[in-house]
């Protein structure tokens, strides 16, 4: 009597723990945010709980905690000197964090007030400001497709918050911001309990107009996660 081959078991876990690192080198107006040239660097932990599984999909609750969430803004430094009429006034130093990318340069300009013409020179240089913060995404889901295979396509998304030690992405914005992300990737199982996940996400930061300014930040975030569990 012929025997039936055993059904191929799933590559999945009921409870999953992991550590992650994420980086984005630039921001732009992708969907909601308008602040440009912002960078993100995150380190954190992940927890997932399997909610449903069949031969097509493994649906999981997924939460992330980011004890280290770094955001970088461009900083514009401008030195302004009065050329004429001749003056003993010192050079004025102006520092600001623009919404658009910083542009280094130099030149001259004139102002007439009321009948006197004032001529100035300016020199603009650029640097960066890193702001440390922390974040949490308690609302999130992940879908793994083809769970009987070691290499599985995934779709995921999260909602949460980020708190920073100073306002981002500009001085008149907020230190408390809401976060949203969703993306796609691949998860490779090394064994039935351990895996490595690589994904690319649309990531948004916004204070939802709880402060004077809310330019918002849109990043394409590249994330690597090492996971284990049973």
Q: Beta strands of the chain (E only): which ranges?
A: 15-24, 39-53, 57-84, 92-96, 105-112, 117-145, 151-168, 174-189, 194-206, 217-229
Q: Nearest to residue 196, comparing CAs of 222, 223, 226?
A: 226
Over residues 171-222, the pLDDT tens digits come to 999 999 999 999 999 999 999 999 999 999 999 999 988 988 899 999 999 9
Name the pTM for this structure. 0.90
Q: If you ran DSSP here, which 8-state letter would residue 148 be given?
A: T
Over residues 89-110, the pLDDT tens digits come to 899 999 999 999 999 999 999 9
At residue 3 the predicted structure's pLDDT band, cuts being 50, 70 and 90, is: low
Q: What fold does the segment set 15-73+130-229 form as a domain?
A: Porin (2.40.160)
Whether 147 and 16 have beta carbons less than 8 Å apart is answered as no
């Amino acid at each position: 009597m012929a025997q039936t081959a055993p059904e191929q078991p799933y590559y999945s876990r009921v409870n999953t723990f992991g550590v992650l690192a994420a980086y984005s080198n630039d921001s732009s107006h992708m969907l909601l945010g308008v602040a440009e040239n912002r960078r993100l660097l995150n380190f954190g932990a992940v927890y997932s709980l399997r909610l449903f599984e069949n031969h097509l999909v493994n649906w999981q609750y997924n939460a992330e905690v980011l004890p280290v969430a770094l955001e970088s803004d461009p900083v514009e430094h401008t030195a302004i000197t009065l050329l004429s009429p001749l003056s003993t006034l010192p050079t004025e130093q102006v520092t600001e964090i623009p919404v658009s990318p910083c542009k280094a340069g130099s030149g001259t300009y004139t102002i007439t007030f009321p009948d006197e013409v004032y001529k100035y020179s300016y020199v603009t240089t650029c640097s960066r400001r890193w702001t440390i913060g922390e974040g949490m995404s308690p609302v999130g889901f992940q879908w793994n497709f083809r769970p009987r295979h070691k290499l599985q396509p995934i779709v995921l998304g999260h909602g949460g918050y980020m708190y920073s030690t100073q306002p981002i992405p500009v001085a008149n914005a907020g230190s408390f911001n809401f976060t949203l992300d969703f993306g796609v990737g691949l998860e490779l199982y090394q064994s039935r309990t351990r895996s490595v996940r690589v994904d690319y996400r649309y990531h948004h930061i916004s204070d939802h107009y709880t402060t004077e300014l809310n330019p918002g930040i849109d990043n394409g975030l590249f994330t690597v996660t090492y996971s284990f569990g049973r």
